Amino acid sequence: MTGSEPLNQSDEDLEAIELRTLAHYEQNAESFWAGTQHHDVSQNIAAFLQALPKDRALDILDFGCGPGRDLATFKALGHHPTGLDGSLSFCQMAQTHSACPTLHQQFLNLDLDEASFDGIFANASLFHIPSLELPRILKQLHKTLRPGGILFSSNPRGESEGWQGARYGHYMQLETMQGFLEQAGFAVIHHYYRPEGLPRELQPWLAMVSRKS
């Protein structure tokens, strides 16, 4: 399967997509940590927290937390973050690196309590969800947020869906992602492109801050 080849996605295909992508992360867990632990995502963390109450510790779900870099940051800022990832190695590493609770769950089979988080930080994770399933998952994320809760997402920009090597990716431009978010009951309140300060053609990442409405 190549970058933009559409899939005929049965339930079995969807499970296979998820497991193959997760297997890639699982097999490369240590090198992923080595390569990303010093990534500067302070712009994203600031944009997310800016949209949330400042006067109290927040319950935050780090959706697709990886090895725990951002969990540690949220905890150091005095919040109560919980990680969620489908890779068991990442869940274990995240617990070691951040001492935060982590949920070993797959995006297509979530088990989250209603109204239990103030905010969801989905840094470079939602794009792994096939388009067919994105509406359902976004509605689940909407449900697990408290009233007025915030969803932050950062995803590669584009207009393709399919395999990029061993990982499945769904790349969207602003209007498409906004459509999915609004359909699930979110209002987009802010967006920007990354890395900061470069011409648009050198900014492959689209960051969005959305409020549960």
Ligand X SMILES: C[S@@+](CC[C@H](N)C(=O)[O-])C[C@H]1O[C@@H](n2cnc3c(N)ncnc32)[C@H](O)[C@@H]1O
**DSSP of 105-161:** --GGG----TT-EEEEEEET-GGGS-TTTHHHHHHHHHHHEEEEEEEEEEEE--SEE
Judged by CB under 6 A, which of 48, 58, 61, 66 binds ligand X? 66
Site for ligand X (CB under 6 A): which residue of 25, 117, 152, 180? 25
Q: Which residues 89-128 are close enough to bind ligand X by CB under 6 A? A: 90, 106-108, 123-125, 128
| 171 is a site residue for ligand X (CB under 6 A) | no
Number of residues forming the site for ligand X (CB under 6 A):
20
Q: What is residue 41's three-state secondary structure?
A: coil
The single-letter code of the amino acid at 12 is E
Look at strands 205-212 and 160-164 and give their pairing.
Answer: unpaired
Q: Which residue has the tokens 């390569």?
A: 35
**Min. distance of Cβ 152 from ligand X in angstroms?**
11
Residue choice 47, 48, 49, 64 for contact with ligand X (CB under 6 A)? 64
Interface with ligand X (CB under 6 A), residue from 87, 98, 144, 210: 87
Q: Which residues of 92-104 are buried (b: 16+ CB within 10 A; e: fewer)?
A: bbbbebbebebbe
Q: Is 44 in the site for ligand X (CB under 6 A)?
A: no
Which residues contact ligand X (rule: CB under 6 A)?
18, 21-22, 25, 36, 64-66, 69, 85-87, 90, 106-108, 123-125, 128
